[in-house]
Amino acid sequence: MSKPSFRRILQMGRPASVAPIYLFGILLALVTPLLILDLGLIVQTVAGLHPPGVEPTDLVIQPIITSDSWPPGKNRAFSMLILVGAGLTLAVLESALLMLQSRAIQKAALDISTRLQLQIHKQAFIMGGNEPLGLTRSRPEELFTDKVEQIREGLAHWWRAIPRSAATLATLTLLACMVDWQKTLAGMLLMVGLWRCYVWRRKQIEESARRWSERTQSRRDLLLEDLRMAPLAATYSIDQIPGESFDDKLKQYKTAALKLGYTRNAMAPFMVLIGLLAGGFLLFMVGVASNTTVWGAAILGVSLVCGWFPAQRLFRLWKVRESVEPACEQVLAYLDREPDVVQMASAQTLDRVRKTVELDRVTLANHAGRKLLDQVSLSIPASGNIGFLASDSQTPMALAGLFVRYYDPTAGRLLYDSHDIRNVTIDSLRSQAALVACDGLLFTGAIGDNIRCGDETYSTTHVTEASRLAAVEDFISRLPQGYSTVVGEQGRSLSKSEAFRVALARAIIRQPSVLIIEEPDTATDGEAIDAALRNVKTDRTLILLPSRLVTLRMLDEIVFFHEGRIHGQGKHADLLKSNDLYRHLIYVRFNEHKGKI
């Protein structure tokens, strides 16, 4: 029985996509027994024998095949021609059905996975930046790639087993039972026993291999330790390190490595042995039976052998389902989530921020529960420029996401001109507060379209002016296609500085009253970045996440965080004198000679 989440994913399959899988699977389950039956007829035709006391009319699957109907006209050559032709036809048909079913499985699995990706994309846009910024990889990205791919592979495994393997196992069992149900039952019990032996032996070998692997690694570590002691031996003029000799350690390593190799290769001989024993037992049962026919024995044996493979695929289906279930749960849980940031029915429009931006006892934790901000209170005057620096890299970016309300604090409030941002409309908030990421977040499209970002009300003049303020106009004008130059994943590659300044123009064109900037970590185009920062700080509150020493020096104030709390506040020069931790951080992170020695 399917797990709940995986069952929900399976139910997403469109009937038009899933129906061919079942059709081709059932047809394959019918073709395989026909091939085996054809093989049995070939054996009977070649042998032309039956046991003493058994008439040809007693052959299996009566009265379909009798001495009167087979071979046709008693002409063995003609019979072989018919059988070989029928076998080749069935083989070609089975190959074609296998190809068609494989394509249908891939199409249906890909249909569901792409629909999941579409829903994740829509949900990501609904949820917005609901996770603290600064993470190397967002949750939607992980779900979109890794988890959806696991689901796609799990669906493919499921549809290879259901219905094809189940139906094939049923038809092969039916065919074998028509030959001799008692021998079939014995053979099936033998197969179950073989499987249990396989599982038992595999567990034994895995455990033994683990122990020998640990012992081999331990012996190898001792040998390496001896090698590392060579300077010590040279210093004190000794041939070897006191204690167990290197030769003894090497012998122990060799023994452990051999045991490990033997253990890892022990499975195949064991399975061959029990397979031969099982085959011999079946041959013995067939040989001593008084009613055994040549083609009956052939059909019975081949049916049981061929039945092993679909049975094995069905047995493994449980592990496949168990492995894919967590991915299904995570994807569906994300799709079922309600947005963390919601707009109140009584929300008011936020006007331009002219007084202060305040943090009132703000607490923010990441998904691991670690507090990035702990009861932080801070007042930033409007039209000021301030920088956030922290002993960790995540806190400043997580704090930046609060100003545009990508997420709400765990506790406390953020106020613009004494208005709690949870009580204002999200659109008006994000029209007054803009966040510029250091990588630019440029989509595949023209530079002009990236600056407009979907708002065609901005004229060419607006775009050009924003580019000028962002100190990127000169660069764009030198491009062969100017503002029509395509950038992004599928377009022209821009440097960090260029992409950042294009993104800065995108924010400036909207004339926000609060601008939060994550400065790119780059040693190129420093003068252009300096000019852009000087231009954009006029008549607005500028909050910077600096990555360059020159930026730290130009800020009116720096707020330094450590372990979730404000650990220092003031100008760069003052903090260097008064704050040991800040001084150490500047030396480690902003040292201009870093990497040279």
Q: For 389, what's the count of Cα atoms within 13 Å in the CB-facing half-sphere?
A: 29
Could you give the 3-state DSSP secondary structure of residue 91? helix
Please check whether residues 387 and 310 belong to one and the same domain: no
Give the gyration radius of the chain's Cα atoms.
37
Is position 94 within any domain? Answer: yes
Is position 330 within any domain? Answer: yes
Strands 486-487 and 445-446: antiparallel
Please check whether residues 311 and 395 belong to one and the same domain: no
| Cα(298)–Cα(43) distance, integer angstroms | 7
Q: Which of 281, 302, 336 is the last residue of a domain?
A: 336
Please check whether residues 328 and 391 belong to one and the same domain: no
442 in Cβ contact with 379 (< 8 Å): no
Q: For 63, what's the count of Cα atoms within 13 Å in the CB-facing half-sphere?
A: 2
Please check whether residues 313 and 390 belong to one and the same domain: no
Please check whether residues 191 and 116 belong to one and the same domain: yes
Please check whether residues 325 and 465 belong to one and the same domain: no
Q: How far is CA 497 from CA 5, 441, 449, 534, in A?
A: 45, 12, 19, 15
Q: Which of 281, 313, 336 is the last residue of a domain?
A: 336
Q: How far is CA 174 from CA 139, 206, 305, in A?
A: 50, 37, 14
Could you give the 3-state DSSP secondary structure of residue 589? helix
Please check whether residues 285 and 400 belong to one and the same domain: no
> pLDDT tens digits, residue range 98-144?
999 999 999 999 999 999 999 988 888 777 655 555 555 678 888 88
Question: Percentage of the chain with pLDDT > 90?
Answer: 32
| Cα(398)–Cα(322) distance, integer angstroms | 35
**CA-angle at 347, arms to 345 and 352, nearest 5°:** 160
- Give start and end residues of each alpha helix (H) in 385-446: 394-403, 426-432
> CA nearest 574: which of 556, 562, 596?
556
Report the CATH number that the domain containing residue 109 is assigned in CATH: 1.20.1560.10
Is position 104 within any domain? Answer: yes
Is position 40 within any domain? Answer: yes
Is position 358 within any domain? Answer: no
| 179 Cβ contact list (under 8 Å, min separation 6) | 60, 61, 296, 299, 300, 303
Could you give the 3-state DSSP secondary structure of residue 393? coil
The residue with tokens 């922290």 is: 390
451 in Cβ contact with 490 (< 8 Å): no
Phi and psi torsions of 412, nearest 5°: 95, -175
Phi and psi torsions of 567, nearest 5°: -105, -10
| Cα(591)–Cα(441) distance, integer angstroms | 28
pLDDT tens by residue, the chain, 597 residues:
446 888 889 888 888 889 999 999 999 999 988 888 888 777 777 765 444 444 444 444 443 444 444 555 456 677 778 888 888 999 899 899 999 999 999 999 999 999 999 998 888 877 765 555 555 567 888 888 889 999 999 999 999 888 888 888 888 888 888 877 777 777 777 777 777 787 788 888 889 889 999 999 988 888 888 888 878 777 777 777 787 888 888 888 888 888 888 888 887 787 777 767 766 766 666 666 656 666 677 777 788 778 878 888 888 888 888 889 999 999 998 888 877 788 888 899 999 999 999 999 999 987 777 889 999 999 999 888 999 999 988 889 889 989 998 888 989 999 999 999 999 999 999 999 999 988 888 888 899 999 998 888 899 999 999 999 999 999 999 988 999 989 887 667 888 889 899 999 999 999 999 999 999 887 678 889 999 999 988 889 999 999 888 899 999 999 999 998 999 999 999 999 999 999 999 888 887 665 555
| Cα(335)–Cα(450) distance, integer angstroms | 29
Please check whether residues 332 and 390 belong to one and the same domain: no
Residue 483 is inside which H or E element, if any? none
Is position 423 within any domain? Answer: no
Please check whether residues 232 and 300 belong to one and the same domain: yes
Please check whether residues 330 and 387 belong to one and the same domain: no
Structure tokens at 584: 């150490």
Residue 458 is inside which H or E element, if any? none
Please check whether residues 439 and 564 belong to one and the same domain: yes
pLDDT at 61: 42
Please check whether residues 307 and 397 belong to one and the same domain: no
Is position 236 within any domain? Answer: yes
20 in Cβ contact with 159 (< 8 Å): no
| Cα(547)–Cα(446) distance, integer angstroms | 28
Q: Domain total for the chain?
A: 2
| Domain that residue 445 falls in | 383-404+431-590
Is position 329 within any domain? Answer: yes
> CA nearest 39: which of 294, 280, 281, 279?
294
Report the CATH number that the domain containing residue 476 is assigned in CATH: 3.40.50.300
